[in-house]
Structure 1
Amino acid sequence: MEPDAVPSTASVIRSGEYLIVQKPDGEQSRVVRFTPKQKILIEKLKFSADSVFGKPYGLFEVSNNQCTPMSVDRLIEELHQQEAPVATSLGDSETTTSEVTDSIDPRLVIAPSALKLEPEQKRQKLEMDAVLEMKKQGISGQELVAKLVQGSASFQTRTVFSQSKYIKRKAKKHNDRVLILRPTIRLLAKAYYLKDPDRLAMLRADQLALMLQMAGVHHGKNIIVFEQTLGLITSAVMERLGGKGACVHIHRGAVAQSIPCVHSMNYSESTLSTFLPVRIKCLLAGSQLPYDTNRRPVNEEDGEDNENDEADKKNIDKLEDQDQEALSRRNDRLDREKQGLDIISEERAHSLIIGSRTVDPISILELMFPKLAPSSSIVIYSPHQNVLISAYEWLSKRPAINLMLSDQMCRVMQVLPDRTHPLMAQYVAGGHVLTGIKVIDQ
């Protein structure tokens, strides 16, 4: 359950939300923020974002750049059709092999080897122009696939397995349906992993689940996180906390950047209250914030208005409103940073999670390990094993027990009647996870 991803009363798609867009059995999965008058493109399927506002999440059918929700009755009817034999389900069951061969060019019948060497389009009676014209007229993907099968000169000569693969391949290419889903941690991990696994440090969803389990993340805990995984680890921790506890996000720079997974979850104010970003230079400087002495109240006036010129006064008021808004955000950021520094300095952190891609985990351990509470869990992830071996040796010389370095392999398998094989185009190897527990030094 994800009660705080979006309000529980929101059961329909709203403008400004981040959503997961993918085609059924598609190879892509995109994270898109839906705004008015926006055109969404996913695997050559294009539709308008305005057509889905106010409609429930789920499966949609695209026609003329407009989305229509799929009804349950229609899906059940199509499921029954798929269970029927291939020939009868496509409405061409009376076509025999001899009738199909009669319609083939005689030159191909004389030289069967030429049939294998010719491109597949040459064996298709339905021209590409006709396919494009039918798409413009709004024909459904299922009807288009049926016409392509009827126009195939070699369909009836195929085996049952080959016919099934042919239909699936054409349905995947001309599919006019799209899934619009509410973001979850698993869907975000899948989307960014498929898009660019290197930016995610090769972190898979199963390894992320292992990290959360070994770190003991649950309601009310104080977790320190340093990560380079686009905010995926931080977002997963915030979701687990459920509005109670603290996720102290250690980051470089003035503000926390490169955390799209946190913004994409559409978190409520209750969940966002647990997000406490802390700059590394503040940890090095101690409890004193670098610009804490320059803090000003939000309603403080910076100067006098020009009473003689009304136009200048309006411009000044507008600039002052913008300054006040920026000052309010800065003060809120300082308050959150102060809370995070207090948790670290008072040794109230229960776990430390490091998701490193280019930063040496030992540099973070040297800074944070002395400030962890006794019995705190330590979880370090990295796509490079040699980095974790060095961290293992570093922890073995400190008061830490139950040190364990592990890796996981995940491979997608296709399991169908009479044929089973792994998916060829996939990333098999991921990263490595180092876990341990801090104890009292005696």
Structure 2
Amino acid sequence: MNNGNESNVVRIGDYVIIQRQKYSKLHKITKKCKVTLGKDHVELDVIVGRPFWTTYKMELKSKKLFSLVECDGVESLSEQLIKDVSSGIDNRNIFDDGSSQLLSKEEIVGLRDSGLSGSEIVGHLIGNSKTFHNKTEYAQEKYLLKKEKKYFEYMTIRRPTFRLVAQIMFKQDPGKIMWLRMDTLSQITTSVGIHSHGTYLLYDSGCLGLPAASMLHYVGENGHIVNIHPGTLPQKEAIQAMNFSEDHLKSLMTVNIHKLLYNLLGNSSSHQETTNSAESLHELSKSSDVAGENLSKGDESNFQISDNKPAKGCENVPKYSSEHLTEDRHLAEEGDSKKRKLQDGEINIAKRPRWELEMDRAVDLLRAHKADGLVVVSREHPLNIVASLLPLLAVSRPLVVYCVLREPLLDLYMHLKCRGDVVGLRLTETWLRTHQVLPDRTHPDMLMDGGGGYLLVGTVVEGKRS
């Protein structure tokens, strides 16, 4: 992330996390920036140039439009209002018949539109309630906590961290990140043995850039991450949300998988079989969007080998004709032609597209030495992808494959067992249950997600790569 004193303050173009009680939202700061929190609209101009972790109070500016005023801390409604209120012994004589509150709905809305603070509005509700003073102290606290959630008028601006970004994306829509929880991401980075001076390959076909942001966070500015994607452009939402510096982002190279494999292995006879299996990825990249939609609906029919034949225990990677790479070879020939023109001085280097520059960097890097780890997070069947990228991985280096379903990893497990150059294969399932920890009230949460996907981990060794 950004270093120096400038990283401690909010700047235009930065991403921030807006926290209001237990609700958190990721937002990008722009000029004349506004954010929507439920039905309220809040102006964020005042936070530019102020430090992170500053708390602000929302003050009504017009109907449903609030401005922010910096304050020292948060005042709890229960602490303000309950200290001078008497309480009852029990709730046996209290009945919820809808007539305990003397104020009508229109009058309550009018109190808020008049510019009263949240504590003043709740004070009016308590004063016009016929049963509040007869409730027990515990029931009164519970009532005030419910009202505080509705009329809470404080927010804190937090610096984005990877844990917070991952949790926010998972709460919004776990299907968009393939149900990748924070604990699963930590297992991926641990299993791949990531360190600050390493070179790592990552195949990501649709997780909003969350695996790339995780690996880039740990690698820093001294390592290299080759982010391989199947489509035209990679997903970078999580990477942008982390506010990485320009020097930090230089460690990341995003390349297309079939262009990378052709540049590295397309003319190599010693890797002909790997090239043949890589040719099927052209069709995989075309269907990645459709596969992602089916996966979010729980459809397992999308996980098929490219030749529509199931992977059996000791079968090799399916062979494919070279017709699928015709378009990629034309693109590669055009790239070679451009390189020749660059050498002749006919085209300015500054006009070269960024993806082409990053492709050259990735090819030069992987030709100099092989990668120190391989991570595959794919919506497609991972067998052909892993078989194509495995020759780029150095010996005694780890391989980690994540998938939402177990069956594709079982196919890959049997294939790698028969190859003889991957050992220590382990197929595991991540199971996590959160707990509520409060005084005298510690218990597991009643609601939890069904699962965190499956991981296949192994180590590459010397051997015949069939």
Question: Between Structure 1 and Structure 2, how many residues are aligned?
Answer: 387
Aligned residues of 2:89 and 2:135 also touching (Cα < 8 A): no
Residue from 188, 205, 214 that aligns with 1:211: 188
Partner-residue secondary structure (3-state), 1:10: helix
Residue from 139, 154, 169 that aligns with 2:146: 169
Structure 2: segments with no counterpart, 5+ residues: 61-65, 267-331
Q: CA deviation at 1:419?
A: 2.8
Work out whether 1:93 is the aligned partner of 2:85: yes
Q: CA deviation at 1:276?
A: 0.8
Structure 2 match to 1:242: 220
Structure 2 match to 1:56: 51
Q: CA deviation at 1:346?
A: 4.4
Work out whether 1:197 is the aligned partner of 2:192: no
Structure 2 match to 1:37: 32
Aligned residues of 1:375 and 1:439 also touching (Cα < 8 A): yes
Partner-residue secondary structure (3-state), 1:125: coil
- The root-mean-square deviation of aligned C-alpha atoms, in Å, is 3.0
Deviations 1:293-313 (A, max 9, x none): 225669x899xxxxxxxxxxx
Aligned residues of 2:374 and 2:399 also touching (Cα < 8 A): yes
Q: CA deviation at 1:402?
A: 1.8
Work out whether 1:334 is the aligned partner of 2:356: yes
Q: CA deviation at 1:97?
A: 7.7
Aligned residues of 1:354 and 1:381 also touching (Cα < 8 A): yes
Question: Higher mean Cα deviation, 221-230 or 395-404?
Answer: 395-404
* Cα 1:178–1:238 shift into 2, 3 Å: same
Q: Percent identity?
A: 26
Aligned residues of 2:87 and 2:136 also touching (Cα < 8 A): no
Question: Higher mean Cα deviation, 220-229 or 124-133?
Answer: 124-133
Residue from 274, 279, 300 that aligns with 2:256: 279
Q: Structure 2-normalised TM-score?
A: 0.75
Task: Give the whole-Å Cα distance in 1 for the aligned partners of 2:123 and 2:82.
Answer: 5
Deviations 1:166-208 (A, max 9, x none): 2221111111122322211111111110110001100011111
Aligned residues of 2:88 and 2:137 also touching (Cα < 8 A): no
Work out whether 1:291 is the aligned partner of 2:334: yes
Structure 1 match to 2:389: 368
Aligned residues of 1:349 and 1:373 also touching (Cα < 8 A): yes
Partner-residue secondary structure (3-state), 2:26: strand
Partner-residue secondary structure (3-state), 1:198: helix
Task: Give the whole-Å Cα distance in 2 for the aligned partners of 1:153 and 1:423.
Answer: 35
Structure 2 match to 1:395: 416
Equivalences for residues 39-438 of structure 1 within 5 A: 39-58=34-53, 59-64=55-60, 65-71=66-72, 74-75=73-74, 78=75, 89-94=81-86, 115-116=95-96, 118-119=97-98, 122-227=99-204, 228-254=206-232, 256-287=233-264, 289-292=332-335, 293-295=337-339, 328=350, 330-356=352-378, 358-398=379-419, 399-438=421-460
Q: CA deviation at 1:347?
A: 4.5
Q: Structure 1-normalised TM-score?
A: 0.79
Paired residue type of 2:203: F
Task: Give the whole-Å Cα distance in 2 for the aligned partners of 1:155 and 1:375.
Answer: 69
Question: Higher mean Cα deviation, 328-337 or 164-173?
Answer: 328-337
Question: Higher mean Cα deviation, 134-143 or 277-286?
Answer: 134-143
Task: Give the whole-Å Cα distance in 1 for the aligned partners of 2:19 and 2:334.
Answer: 45
Deviations 1:302-326 (A, max 9, x none): 9xxxxxxxxxxxxxxxxxxxxx8xx
Structure 2 match to 1:305: none
Task: Give the whole-Å Cα distance in 2 for the aligned partners of 1:137 and 1:55.
Answer: 30
Q: CA deviation at 1:123?
A: 2.3
Q: CA deviation at 1:53?
A: 1.4
Structure 1: segments with no counterpart, 5+ residues: 102-108, 303-323
* Cα 1:392–1:163 shift into 2, 3 Å: farther
Q: CA deviation at 1:244?
A: 0.9
Aligned residues of 1:282 and 1:290 also touching (Cα < 8 A): no
